[in-house]
Structure 1
Amino acid sequence: MASVSFVLAFGPSSPKAQQSEGRSTANSVQVSTVVQGLENPWSLAFLPDDEGVLITERPGRLRIWTAQKGLSRAIQGTPAVFAKGQGGLLDVAIAPDFAKTRRVYLSYAEGSPRNPSEGPAGTAVGFGRLTDDGQRLEDFQVIFRQRPKLSNGVHFGSRLVFDDKGHLFIALGENNQRPTAQDLDKLQGKVVRLRPDGSIPEDNPFIGHDGALPEIWSYGHRNQQGAALNPWTKVLWTHEHGPRGGDEINIPGAGKNYGWPIATHGINYSGLPIPEAKGETAPGTEPPHYVWKKSPGISGMAFYNADKFPPWRGSLFVGALVDRAVIRLSLDHDRIIGEERLLEDIGARIRDVRVGPDGYLWVLTDERDGRLLKVGLKP
């Protein structure tokens, strides 16, 4: 899998199933504000049958927005969270069988057993049943806890993705404890693969390996804040923050090592090299599928597989916190062949980007007065 840096020119269109048009769309974008006044919103998920949009706020609130009723109060029954630094209530996903179970999955930063608001902390995942009136999560169950807990408030990840077979992937950060990403007896810097009830699939790559935790799917990741299932190949893609430079996209394979911190395209925030790094590549590690030498600060990821806006068909959208933009990546099958920046004029940190059932992009801005935006193309 070849490493790619600074691919700026659009190439030829790919086959129809993954067609990405080469022309720029930045000047054709139209944006409307759907919700404002959100406190550091982190993620969103669409409920079926026009039930609305679930939105997480990092201080610990889960809310529903509907066109008819607007923004709800905080849904009751959510877990206590470690709401410090980058921690708090993070990702939200609905179960593949939501119509039957009404299960809503949450990832969040969790502190000590005695006091969840006190560190050290780690990422936890659980689910509850959303009541028919949308006011409460009932019987919330924790199905995963990152162990050991090593974070003082940074690098939790985390994104939740179900594949087409019902497996739950959890993309995790390394709690800013670099070497742990290479330790198979720890869950820092890993992609984890579980069944929806938290049990471990029998075909996970480290089943039966001494000294390796069986939940692990891939390792050597830094701080993963984007993940999505490729709708054409049904394969998981993730992205992660580099340090100073080296943000990257990966296609995590079973049992594979993605290098951090022994292989990286970035350097320390101090300007010095990463102490453990052997270079941009290292033996036994996978190179990134795509890499930015200068970090945009990526967060959120969505493939565009809708018919609403043909120029976007076959694109991959990524939010950027530092660069304050939505990045559109043009695809030729799995190959990333072009890049353009959208929404730079609004000047907001982009935390999450999703494709709605209406074919529009739905975007969250990471601010104390955060917004939910609906983004499309002019007729």
Structure 2
Amino acid sequence: MHRRAVLLSFFAAAAAPLPPQAPVFESSAGRLKLVTVVAGLDHPWSFAFLPEGGMLVTERPGWLRAVAPDGRLLAPVSGLPKVSATGQGGLLDVALHPDFATTRLVFLSFAEPREDGKNATSVMRGRLSEDLARLSDVTVIFRQQPAYKGGAHFGSRLAFDRTGALFVTTGDRLNLRPLVQQTDNHIGKVIRITEDGGIPPDNPKLEGWLPEVWSIGHRNLQGATIHPDTGQLWTVEHGAKGGDELNHPEAGKNYGWPVITYSREYSGEPVGEGLTEKAGMEQPVHDWTPSIAPSGMVFLTGGRYPQWSGNLFVGALALQHVARLVLKDGKVVEEEKLFDGYTRFRDLRQGPDGSLYLLTDQGAPMGRVLKVVKAAS
């Protein structure tokens, strides 16, 4: 069967209704339903569509699962390094090489066990076998420094830009705030590297900055995507109590944490001096208070949902919805809550069929990949 036919048959055959019945949601794009494409996942964190059909899904306990073109959930892929599956850590994001069809290279971010019981965000790459069973030629191309004993704020989204450089987001590890404003480490940073871990020639060249550091002043970046028209990186990051942020991090800029923020400590006390602006530090494009706990994000293109083409979609963990954002001149001019209160949405992707796919943040067997489809009037 032709590859495209196999791919489309996968999306059609695998989309079974959520038991006992998928609810219907009203939206600006009409009446919508969520149907299950993949079920039985254990705290899935990210997913990526394969060009030959099917997909790869990461599970935080440490498993990379392939889904066959016919919708079958396959055994865990072998060949992965050990992960530190503690707290928020584990196997996290997945991204395919821009020329995956030729290279078969898969990139994975994960909480890596380090010396003395510490851990930190790392990125590995490996070559996926044609039968989707194993990774070979596995190597770690980035290791966040310093490591720390803890289970929080690993960040950990991956996004390839148009040049083939790889953005890697990190977190402040919750208790390493003093390092975020320093430029000689990887704590609370956006990192930009080549596919083999080298330094792209157009990275910022600033005194005192590590050459792989793209931007600083971030708390816990759990969403990243590339704008389909401009090629610009967009990110979301968690605040503490309120103050979640949407940004488009630019080379060599400082996004303020923990010096400026619209967040407060979980106790309700101000963060630091309670500043929301300061010279030399960037303002967010958009912020959320109360916190929605933003995660995966994607720009939708094409005609599957004509009313939404060009909009940005962000998954919300704490407030359990998908935020649809309309941007104009780089600013958010409209926001809509979709699927409000249904579940925690960990990641979002646009499928090869143009549909919006959502990943739930639930343990086995409730972890699912869901497809957004039009409901009957």
5+ residue gaps, structure 2: 1-25
Q: Give the C-alpha shift of residue 329 in structure 1.
A: 0.8
What's the counterpart of residue 362 of structure 1? 357
8 A Cα contact 1:206 1:216, kept in partner: no
What's the counterpart of residue 18 of structure 1? none
8 A Cα contact 1:151 1:175, kept in partner: no
8 A Cα contact 1:296 1:320, kept in partner: yes
What's the counterpart of residue 47 of structure 2? 44
Which of 279, 283, 297 does residue 283 from structure 1 map onto? 279
Aligned length: 348
**Residue type of the partner of 2:193?**
L
1:168-214 CA deviation, whole Å, 9 max, x = no partner?
Answer: 0001111112121111011010001111110012221136x2x3211
Q: TM-score normalized by structure 2? A: 0.89
**Residue type of the partner of 1:127?**
R
Q: TM-score normalized by structure 1? A: 0.89
1:68-114 CA deviation, whole Å, 9 max, x = no partner?
Answer: 1511110001111000000000000000111111000000001214x
Residues in 2 aligned to 1:278 and 1:343: alpha-carbon distance in whole angstroms: 34
Residues in 2 aligned to 1:35 and 1:234: alpha-carbon distance in whole angstroms: 30
8 A Cα contact 1:36 1:370, kept in partner: yes
What's the counterpart of residue 192 of structure 2? 193
8 A Cα contact 1:221 1:240, kept in partner: yes
Which of 289, 297, 306 does residue 310 from structure 1 map onto? 306
What's the counterpart of residue 31 of structure 2? 28
5+ residue gaps, structure 1: 1-22
1:308-350 CA deviation, whole Å, 9 max, x = no partner?
Answer: 110111110000000111111112242211111111252x111
Which of 94, 108, 127 does residue 92 from structure 1 map onto? 94
Q: Give the C-alpha shift of residue 27 in structure 1.
A: 5.4
What's the counterpart of residue 83 of structure 2? 81
Tell me the secondary structure at the aligned position of residue 242 of structure 1.
Answer: coil
Residues in 2 aligned to 1:111 and 1:256: alpha-carbon distance in whole angstroms: 30
What's the counterpart of residue 155 of structure 2? 157
Q: Give the C-alpha shift of residue 66 in structure 1.
A: 2.9
Residues in 2 aligned to 1:63 and 1:250: alpha-carbon distance in whole angstroms: 31
**Residue type of the partner of 2:35?**
S
Q: CA RMSD in A?
A: 1.5
Identical counterparts, % of pairs: 50
Residues in 2 aligned to 1:27 and 1:341: alpha-carbon distance in whole angstroms: 13
8 A Cα contact 2:52 2:69, kept in partner: no
Which of 238, 242, 259 does residue 235 from structure 2 map onto? 238
What's the counterpart of residue 131 of structure 2? 133
Q: Which runs of 4+ in 1 moved over 6 A?
A: none
8 A Cα contact 2:29 2:305, kept in partner: no
1:255-281 CA deviation, whole Å, 9 max, x = no partner?
Answer: 000000000001000111113x45111
Tell me the secondary structure at the aligned position of residue 262 of structure 2.
Answer: coil
Question: Which structure has the higher relative contact order (CA within 8 Å, separation 6+)?
Answer: 1
**Residue type of the partner of 1:263?**
I
Residues in 2 aligned to 1:66 and 1:313: alpha-carbon distance in whole angstroms: 29
- Superposed counterparts of 1:255-294, under 5 Å: 255-275=252-272, 277-294=273-290
Which of 166, 169, 176 does residue 168 from structure 1 map onto? 166
Tell me the secondary structure at the aligned position of residue 88 of structure 2.
Answer: coil
Residues in 2 aligned to 1:286 and 1:57: alpha-carbon distance in whole angstroms: 34
